[in-house]
Amino acid sequence: MSSFATLRADWQMETNSLSGPESIPLPGFIFICICSSAVSHCGVMRMIITLTNLVFLLVLTTSGLLVARTTPPSKLTETCDPLLQKGLEQCLVSLKLKKATDDKILSVALVDITNPSSPRIAYANPNEMMYAASLPKIAILLGAFERVASGEMDLDSKTREQLTRMIRNSSNQAATEMLNRVGKSYLADLLQSPRYRLYDLEKNGGLWVGKEYSKANVWKRDPLHNLSHGATALQVARFYYMMETGQLVSPELSQQMKSILAKPAINHKFVKGLMAVHPDSRIYRKSGTWREYHSDSAIIEHDGRRYIAVALAKNNRGGQWLTDLIVAMDELIFKSAPQKIAAHN
């Protein structure tokens, strides 16, 4: 036991001087000590018995650690998947939408998150900020759940019902009431916070809510584009990705936010297109419409695959563009699926 204690002290001193992946975990120390003891003091048979006990000990010791050391979720970057990007560009050409992207009146983000730790992304004009009408109500949803998490708001039946009407039915009254409960300044700071950066000056903006959804005056337009309700395709995609991977507020509250985005009540744009070809799809969605501005965003799940789709358009035909585009992007997700994942599903 004295030699074991000496080794334990030496190990502790050594690991204290290391950091990150270089440090030696306790199971590694136990392995070293038992193996050393087995070689120095035991015969071959006793060494086998000792090592058998070691395996059992390591299983018991590490079983709890394996849960605690779960690999953290990946970040959604702007590194395109070549196959998915090529497919998206071909979709835009076949739908005669290439000029719209060239003129920057259409922006698109498509992210395959069937394997959420390795998202595959493709896009057109991902950082082009546009007026997004009701789509930024998802930002109010985030603000409300942050207030809930801090104990400043109760997620009672009335609050949940108000949030549901704001998202599924796109109620402007519910959105205005909820925005005022969350706080305009609080929400603006939250969207720009280092934790979320859903409005990022270095990425040409992002999600912004600077006005009530009413006839009230604008509270604060976004700093870069002077928009009252704006978004970029990339930051909206990041919102959905963080929600899906439990990085919005908390894993539990991320799932509750997702449940509110389910069962969209308005059948147009993405929903209209998908219901025509895959009526069994599960859609978690928020759209927006005002004059010639059309936007839609969703997590879509069916037949073993899951993906994020976002599109923002400035054109009177934008609603039809998005209906046609989602059908093409859905097909692309399946055609471009990595073979090992496609075979697994």
Helix (H) or strand (E) holding 339: helix 339-344
Residues 185, 191, 197, 203: is their CA dihedral positive or negative?
Answer: negative
Q: Could you give the angle at which helices 270-277 and 318-335 cross, rounded to 10 degrees? A: 50
d(CA 48, CA 35): 10
Name the 3-class secondary structure at 285: strand
- The whole-number pLDDT of residue 112 equals 98
The tokens of 75 are what? 């970040």
- The whole-number pLDDT of residue 75 equals 84
d(CA 81, CA 113): 12
- The whole-number pLDDT of residue 66 equals 33
- The whole-number pLDDT of residue 338 equals 85
Contact 55, 35 (CB under 8 A): no
Name the 3-class secondary structure at 206: strand
Contact 76, 118 (CB under 8 A): no
Chain mean position to CA 30: 39
- The whole-number pLDDT of residue 73 equals 58
d(CA 186, CA 152): 12
- The whole-number pLDDT of residue 11 equals 38
Nearest Cα to 234, choosing from 308, 320, 149, 159? 308
Chain mean position to CA 159: 24
Phi, psi of 263 (to 5 degrees): 55, 60
Query: Hey, what domains does the chain have and what are their CATH numbers?
Result: 2-68 (no CATH), 82-344 (3.40.710.10)
**How many C-alpha atoms does 33 have within 13 Å on its Cβ side?**
22
d(CA 162, CA 82): 42
Task: Quote the strand ranges of the chain, DSSP E.
Answer: 106-112, 120-124, 130-131, 199-200, 205-206, 208-209, 229-231, 282-290, 293-302, 305-314
Chain mean position to CA 286: 15
Which string of b and e fits 298-325 if b means at least 16 CB within 10 Å? bbbbbeebbbbbbbbbbbeebbbbbbbb
Name the 3-class secondary structure at 45: helix
Amino acid code (one letter) for 59: V
Per-residue pLDDT in tens (0 to 9) along the chain, 345 residues: 444 344 344 434 333 433 333 333 444 444 434 444 444 444 444 444 444 444 343 333 333 333 333 344 568 989 999 999 999 999 999 999 999 999 999 999 999 999 999 999 999 999 999 999 999 999 999 999 999 999 999 999 999 999 999 999 999 999 999 999 999 999 999 999 999 999 999 999 999 999 999 999 999 999 999 999 999 999 999 999 999 999 999 999 999 999 999 999 999 999 999 999 999 999 999 999 999 999 999 999 999 999 999 999 999 999 999 999 999 999 999 999 986 544 444
Phi, psi of 282 (to 5 degrees): -95, 125
